[in-house]
Amino acid sequence: MSPTPASASRRGFFARAISFMGSVAAAVRPAAPRTLQVDIAEGGSPGDGPRAKWGMAIDLDLCTACGGCVVACASENNVPMTGTSEAEAGTSIAWMGLLPKAEVQEEQQLPELLPMPCMHCEDAPCVKVCPVNATYQNDEGLVVQISDRCIGCRYCMVACPYSRRFFNWKEAEWPETYRNLLNPDVSTRPEGVVEKCSFCSHRIRKLREESRVAEHTITDADLQRLPACAQTCPANAIVFGDLNDSESLVSRMAASPRSARLLEHLGAKPKVFYLARERRNDG
Amino acid sequence: MSAQNEDPKALPIGMARFGMPFVLGFLLLGLVVAAGGLGYLQQRLHGDIVTGLRTVGQGGPAWGLYICFDVMFVGFAFAGISLSALTRLFRIQTLWPVTRIAEVLAVISLMMAGLCVIADLGRPWHGLINLPRYARTNSPFFGTFTLVIGSGLSASLLYLFLDLRVDAAWWSNRVGLHGQLFRWCAMGFRNTAQEHRRRRRVSFWLSLVLLPLMLISYSTLGFVFGIQGGRPGWFGALQAPSFVILAAMSGLGIIMVVAALVRRALALQEQISERVFLWLGTTVAILSLFYVYLIGVDTLTSRYASSEAQNVVSREITEGRFSPLFWSMLACFLVPTVVLLERGLRRKPSIALAVLSGVLINIGAVLNRFLVVVPSQTHGQLMPWPTGRYEPTWVEFSVVAGLLALGTMMFLIYLQVFPILPLQTLGLSTPVAAPKEVRTRALLRRTAAWITFLGGLALALLGLALSARWGTPRPEGDPLLPGSPVMFLMGVVMMLAAALVYELFPSARPKPVPETR
């Protein structure tokens, strides 16, 4: 029950509704092929001009919490199959997870289930604590995890305020039929290391290579649904793109008044933006 | 000279007593160590799933018993070295008899701490290779691996060795294996007045250097927890000082226990006086009082107007799931405090009560470490992930018990090989005047020591600069030269080794020593 006077809340509603419609209009506007402000086609050696800063925006008003992103992510990234027993034991791995219930974030109007990938923080606590540089931030803002370097001390897991890091408590197992369907673009991880969402960095690399061969200029439209979660999302709630490109959809969504980041007060500067759900009169 | 030294077969007090209790005790400890090995084997074969640890946010803490005992072992070492150093600096005669115990305890504890970390790692071999190669200064673990385990261990070994050398020289005319060992360990110490003067000087400077080194290195262990802004219950400036205080009290507690056991087993009632326990007991009581005060401050801060999550963690500790542990911990701290203070104020030592207090304080310390490490991970979620629970499995218990048993075994082995009482306590180390023709080469000796020290300093700074990538635009990254963390470590060790050079630098003396005294 909100103690706010009805007129004030109505005004707030209209303001939000207008901004929401604005963003929807922006979202549905056909993305005209145009040259990106940032040369993301290269992405190669550091120091040759501005580069991409990958980010994600999740519109919670569109999200139906169907869980498609979770399944797509696991399938794309060879995440070991787990069932209820692992989930109950606390050993399952879900790079993209659904945050069960958002009681704490009441004022941010988050839904009951919140899709949560790695936040790829700009000032990531996990990167700070890794003793062997097994996790670091690359030139394009991705928080990368190198399993071969990882020693399994799990410091990053306890440091991550979003709990978006997972440990391989045992050797990964797949059913025989599934083993032939593993994604060859993503290496499987050994027992005893930490793993996490990569923003499907292998797809970025693939897109670059394919575009180079086809002499195609990468546009924002190529990027918006690039990660497996975004590609699968039936409601198009997840948008990926370059935050350094102010015209990209993800940048515009991030700039929306509905946009907020989780635990902003910690100063980790996450690069996943959530667009608040519109509370209509039915809720 | 003492009659004991005249008989070349007599060994220092307490040594080489292979009685039946010793053999039985040793076998029993061996069994516990074997059980620990078996537990660890399970962990290696089946993965860390055999422990009670789980993913944070999915029902578990990722750190548990291993980390608690790592903190515990390093704490023992911190207390041991600090006790020994303070005793030397301030020449506290009463505490001399237990300095050796404290030093041996420190060396063994640090070895166990290293093993504890290895037990915790998901991939220990990668840890052993990647940490020396790539350790980053950004991570508080840099301090833990280089300063605590590396420099701390070499410093304690050096400290122990230089002190033992005096004893070894005194007993070097023994026959058999012990004699050979003593002669090797004495490394030409001839018990002259000059050598003793050098020993005192080195001891003074080494103590002065080791105290801050131990303080800094132990604080990094507190920072592992204290600087995590995303972990309510950990984040706070009190963490490092609390770690130091608790380490001192639990370490002194264990020294009281070991000293009493050694005193009893080897009949050293005369040498280790009851006043030792009065001193240690009172110190432990004061530290314990202060620690309880810190707990109060911390609880008040996290309850009054702090964040919701911090409140939850604190409530969970004092009223929730962890409350039995919390109140037992307070009892384990307060009961000994009252008992020891009462004894201290009345100046009436009681060894039985001191031992009991030492044991209780250490039980309390284990509980406290558990309460520091676990609740923040299970209940200190900033995001509304489900809360977790942690019940260590037999694997973790057996590994920890195995490490404790291994440490005890090493202590027993030490008792059989080297004297546990410093010579000074026995009143034996009367220096003799050096023969006139000996030239100590004081200038050369000092120069060599200074060169070692400065070389070590340069190496350490270079290693640190390369590890920390000083002067590069991106300080977070691989060390500029793989292995530079080792360079830093070796530099610190080399700085300390200046003491070794200063003491062991050969005097100009052509002819062999006529006698050892």
**Residue that finishes a domain, picked among B415, B434, B453:** B434
Which chain B residues contact residue A266 at CB under 8 A?
A: 229-230, 382
Q: How far is CA B508 from CA A276, B94, B317, B455, B512, in A?
A: 83, 37, 65, 25, 11
* pLDDT value for B170: 84
C-alpha distance from A217 to closest chain B C-alpha (Å) = 31
Note whether B230 contacts A161, CB cutoff 8 Å: yes
- Please list the pLDDT of chain B residue by residue as tens digits (517 residues): 444 456 666 777 667 666 788 889 999 999 999 999 999 999 999 999 999 999 998 888 999 999 999 999 999 999 999 999 999 899 888 899 999 999 999 999 999 999 999 999 999 999 999 998 998 888 888 877 777 777 788 888 988 998 888 888 888 888 888 888 888 888 888 888 888 888 889 989 989 888 998 898 889 899 999 999 889 999 999 999 999 999 999 999 999 999 999 998 888 888 888 999 999 999 999 999 999 999 999 999 999 888 888 999 999 999 999 999 999 999 999 999 999 999 999 998 899 999 999 999 999 999 999 999 999 999 998 888 888 889 999 999 999 999 999 999 999 999 888 888 888 777 766 667 666 656 668 889 999 999 999 999 999 999 999 998 888 887 778 889 988 999 999 999 999 999 999 988 887 765 555 555 5
Evaluate whether B224 touches B140 at the Cβ level (below 8 Å).
yes
* pLDDT value for A268: 93
Average pLDDT, chain A: 81
> Quick count: other Cβ atoms within 10 Å of Cβ A174?
15
Note whether B383 contacts A158, CB cutoff 8 Å: no
Q: Give A241's DSSP letter.
A: E
Q: How confident is the model at residue A125 (pLDDT cuts 50, 70, 90)?
A: very high
Note whether B228 contacts A129, CB cutoff 8 Å: yes
In a domain, B511, yes or no: no
Note whether A129 contacts B60, CB cutoff 8 Å: no
Evaluate whether B491 touches B456 at the Cβ level (below 8 Å).
yes
In a domain, B486, yes or no: yes
CATH number at residue B321: 1.20.1630.10
Query: Which of 209-268 (A) contact B at CB < 8 A?
Result: 262-263, 266-268
Q: Does B48 touch chain A (CB under 8 A)?
A: yes
Q: DSSP readout, B22-49? A: HHHHHHHHHHHHHHHHHHHHHHHHH-GG
C-alpha distance from B479 to closest chain A C-alpha (Å) = 9
- CA triple B385-B391-B397, angle to 5 deg: 140
CA-atom Rg of chain A in angstroms:
19
Note whether B141 contacts A155, CB cutoff 8 Å: yes
Q: Does B2 touch chain A (CB under 8 A)?
A: no
Note whether A132 contacts B230, CB cutoff 8 Å: no
Same domain, B105 and B122: yes
Q: Which among B142, B230, B386 has CB closest to A131?
A: B142
* pLDDT value for B166: 87
Same domain, B186 and B320: yes
Note whether A132 contacts B47, CB cutoff 8 Å: no
Q: Which among B120, B133, B230 has CB closest to A125?
A: B230
Residue A228 above 50 pLDDT?
Answer: yes
| DSSP H or E run through B258 | helix B239-265
**Residue that finishes a domain, picked among B383, B416, B434:** B434
Q: DSSP readout, B339-379? A: HHHHHHHHT---HHHHHHHHHHHHHHHHHHHHHHHHHHHHH
Q: How confident is the model at residue A7 (pLDDT cuts 50, 70, 90)?
A: very low
| DSSP H or E run through A34 | none
**What are the E-state strand segments in B32-121?**
none
**Amino acid in position B207:** S
* pLDDT value for B452: 95
In a domain, B13, yes or no: no
Query: Which of 356-385 (B) contact A at CB < 8 A?
Result: 377, 381-385
Q: Which among A90, A159, A267 has CB closest to B54?
A: A90
The distance from CA A156 to its chain's CA centroid, rounded to whole angstroms, is 18
In a domain, B185, yes or no: yes
In a domain, B397, yes or no: yes
Closest CA to A256 of A84, A62, A100: A62
Q: Give A264's DSSP letter.
A: G
Query: Which of 447-506 (B) contact A at CB < 8 A?
Result: 476-478
In a domain, B143, yes or no: yes
| CA-based torsion, A85, A91, A97, A100: positive or negative | positive
Residue A5 above 60 pLDDT?
Answer: no
Quickly count helices (H) and strands (E) in chain A: 10, 10
Same domain, B467 and B385: no
Residue A32 above 50 pLDDT?
Answer: no
Note whether B382 contacts A161, CB cutoff 8 Å: yes
Note whether A167 contacts B476, CB cutoff 8 Å: no
The Cβ-side half-sphere exposure at B329, using a 13 Å CA radius, reads: 20
Which of the pair, A15 or A247, is modelled with greater confidence?
A: A247
Q: What is the distance between the alpha carbons of residues A15 and A9, in angstroms, rounded to a whole number?
A: 10
**Residue that finishes a domain, picked among B434, B467, B492:** B434
Which chain B residues contact residue A192 at CB under 8 A?
A: 47-48, 121-123
Q: Average the pLDDT over A138-151 and give the result.
A: 92
Q: Which among B133, B141, B386 has CB closest to A100?
A: B386
Which chain A residues contact residue B60 at CB under 8 A?
A: 90
Q: Does A87 touch chain B (CB under 8 A)?
A: yes
Q: What is the distance between the alpha carbons of residues B507 and B188, in angstroms, rounded to a whole number?
A: 10
The Cβ-side half-sphere exposure at B47, using a 13 Å CA radius, reads: 14
Q: What SS3 class is residue B143?
A: helix
Which chain B residues contact residue A88 at CB under 8 A?
A: 59
3-state SS of A164-223? CCEECCCCCCCCHHHHCCCCCCCCCCCCCCEECCCCCHHHHHHHHHHHHHHCCCCCHHHH
B439: β partners: B508
Q: How confident is the model at residue A2 (pLDDT cuts 50, 70, 90)?
A: very low
| CA-based torsion, A18, A274, A232, B383: positive or negative | negative
Same domain, B302 and B406: yes
Same domain, B128 and B105: yes
Query: Which of 122-151 (B) contact A at CB < 8 A?
Result: 122-124, 126-127, 130-131, 133-136, 138-142, 145
Same domain, B425 and B475: no
Same domain, B449 and B326: no
Instruction: List the single residue in B with minimal CA-CA distance to A94.
Output: B58
Q: How confident is the model at residue A28 (pLDDT cuts 50, 70, 90)?
A: very low
State which residues form the domain around B162: 18-434
Which chain A residues contact residue B230 at CB under 8 A?
A: 125, 159-162, 263, 266, 268
Q: How far is CA B502 from CA B48, B172, B197, B448, B451, in A?
A: 47, 22, 12, 7, 11
Q: What number is the ipTM of this complex?
A: 0.90
Q: What SS3 class is residue A54?
A: strand
Q: Which among A92, A158, A164 has CB closest to B62?
A: A158
Instruction: List the single residue in B with minimal CA-CA distance to A267.
Output: B229
Q: Does B70 touch chain A (CB under 8 A)?
A: no
Which chain B residues contact residue A153 at CB under 8 A?
A: 120-122, 127, 141
Same domain, B454 and B356: no
Query: Which of 290-319 (B) contact A at CB < 8 A?
Result: 308
Same domain, B423 and B450: no
In a domain, B106, yes or no: yes
Q: What is the distance between the alpha carbons of residues B124 and B143, in angstroms, rounded to a whole number?
A: 18
Same domain, B22 and B145: yes
Same domain, B240 and B154: yes
Q: Does B439 touch chain A (CB under 8 A)?
A: no
Say how many domains are in chain B. Answer: 2
Evaluate whether B402 touches B37 at the Cβ level (below 8 Å).
yes
Q: How far is CA B197 from CA A117, B193, B328, B433, in A?
A: 66, 6, 49, 12
Same domain, B266 and B406: yes
In a domain, B4, yes or no: no
Note whether A159 contacts B121, CB cutoff 8 Å: no
Contacts 24+ apart (CB under 8 A), A206-210: A208/A40, A208/A41, A208/A42, A208/A43
Q: Which among A99, A134, A167 has CB closest to B384?
A: A99
